Amino acid sequence: MSNEQSILSIPISPETHKDVWVYAEVRHDNLIPTVFELLFLGKKLAADLNEKLCAVIIGKNVSQHAQTLIDHGADKVYAIEHDHLEQFVDETYAKLLTDLLLKEKPNKLLLPASTIGRSFGSRVAVQANTGITADATELSINKEKGGLLNATRPSFGGTLMATILCVRGHRPETATVRPMTFPRATPEPGRKGDVVKVPVDLSGFKPRERHIRFEPEVSQEIDISQATIIISGGYGVGGANGFNALHDLAKTLGGAVGASRRAVDSGWISYRHQIGLTGRVVRPKLYIAAGISGQIQHLAGMNSAETIVCINKDPEAPLMKLATLSVQGDLFEILPAINKELQKCGFGAK
């Protein structure tokens, strides 16, 4: 039966759809960190609904991760496992997940707002004839509306937060969740849960896409999403060379270099360094912002940092008011001075 046929024939009733599901994305044989954030969030939503938390995982040899998912809160793990699923192919993964959704009828489905989750989540939602909120940053259960999912996300360039509800009668209510927005679930080693191995039948299925090869990005730099310390520069650095002072300090501290969109749009540094609404979301222990005013779209990417240090000439800049420590002055004097003192204390020595 094709997906189109199954959509039309499935009886949709919210009463028959139970449990909160999270899609546990595996990349290069490992669960991506956002999975643990989804488990933290999913556990809370499931507890509010008095339902189970289930994880679904797709790939080759992926059931090896089932116990980790259970340790982090999943009550049940569905493993869709096959040698042909080693590489992510949007259409194939979407078909398999949609088939399982239509069979098991979960109430809610959360996916990471990663490149894969965004692409494949929307395809799954269309095939399952349900609604999806992309890139949600707050999620809760709306008890007044019978347990619907309140999925909130920034709209109109981050100036407004919109809460989106899925029309009644369409399940599972689906959302992709912005990475680094929620804490990670704490493990409880040895927790008990069920593992369901889902049979995979791809006979007669002819995807139009195929995986050719994977080419990793080659870079010596620490990636901002992995860094515990980020030195970030904005339009105040004045040009590509202005980032040298930030790279020097990042090297001393073992940190990564981030940037505002204005610096990226000016062509001074590549997009992979951009932090914010249309860049990446980071949650480092220390975020040093130099020459960044702190507009709302930038804050959307870094305001969960544990400690924020802002260096700016202008004491009225919004980030100067939000920072844990605000330093008024010229970044080209302050950054080298900090770097020099740290090096004197032995930081950055090989």
Ligand X SMILES: Cc1cc2nc3c(=O)[nH]c(=O)nc-3n(C[C@H](O)[C@H](O)[C@H](O)COP(=O)(O)OP(=O)(O)OC[C@H]3O[C@@H](n4cnc5c(N)ncnc54)[C@H](O)[C@@H]3O)c2cc1C
Instruction: Return residues touching ligand X (CB under 6 A).
Output: 157, 234-236, 260-263, 274, 276-279, 291-293, 295, 297-298, 301, 311-314, 317, 330-332
Closer CB to ligand X, residue 205 or residue 271? 271
The answer for residues whose C-beta is within 8 angstroms of residue 158's C-beta and 6 or more apart is 277, 296, 297, 300
- Give the per-residue SS3 of 153-170: EEEHHHCEEEEECCCCCC
What is the smallest separation between the CB atom of 347 and ligand X, expressed in angstroms? 22
E-only strand ranges, the chain: 20-23, 26-27, 30-31, 53-59, 76-81, 108-112, 132-136, 138-142, 148-155, 160-164, 173-177, 194-198, 229-233, 256-259, 286-290, 307-312, 325-328
What is the smallest separation between the CB atom of 123 and ligand X, expressed in angstroms? 25
d(CA 174, CA 118): 11
What is the smallest separation between the CB atom of 51 and ligand X, expressed in angstroms? 35
Closer CB to ligand X, residue 165 or residue 296? 296
What is the smallest separation between the CB atom of 304 and ligand X, expressed in angstroms? 15
Closer CB to ligand X, residue 57 or residue 277? 277
What is the smallest separation between the CB atom of 171 and ligand X, expressed in angstroms? 32
Which of helix, strand or coil describes residue 82?
coil
Closer CB to ligand X, residue 124 or residue 299? 299
In this structure, are residues 201 and 225 in contact, taking their beta carbons and an 8 Å threshold? no
The answer for residues whose C-beta is within 8 angstroms of residue 270's C-beta and 6 or more apart is 264
Closer CB to ligand X, residue 42 or residue 279? 279
In angstroms, what CA-CA distances link 289 with 220, 252, 275? Answer: 22, 16, 11
Closer CB to ligand X, residue 278 or residue 343? 278
d(CA 56, CA 25): 9
Closer CB to ligand X, residue 16 or residue 115? 115
* Interstrand relation of 173-177 and 132-136 (parallel, antiparallel or unpaired): parallel
What is the smallest separation between the CB atom of 152 and ligand X, expressed in angstroms? 17
What is the smallest separation between the CB atom of 286 and ligand X, expressed in angstroms? 18
Closer CB to ligand X, residue 117 or residue 301? 301
HSE-CB for 53 with a 13 A CA cutoff: 25
Nearest Cα to Cα of residue 298 among 313, 307, 306, 287:
287
Q: What is the dihedral of CA 98, 102, 107, 109, to 10 degrees?
A: -10
What is the smallest separation between the CB atom of 97 and ligand X, expressed in angstroms? 30
What is the smallest separation between the CB atom of 341 and ligand X, expressed in angstroms? 18
Cα diameter, the chain: 72
Closer CB to ligand X, residue 123 or residue 273? 273
d(CA 206, CA 202): 8
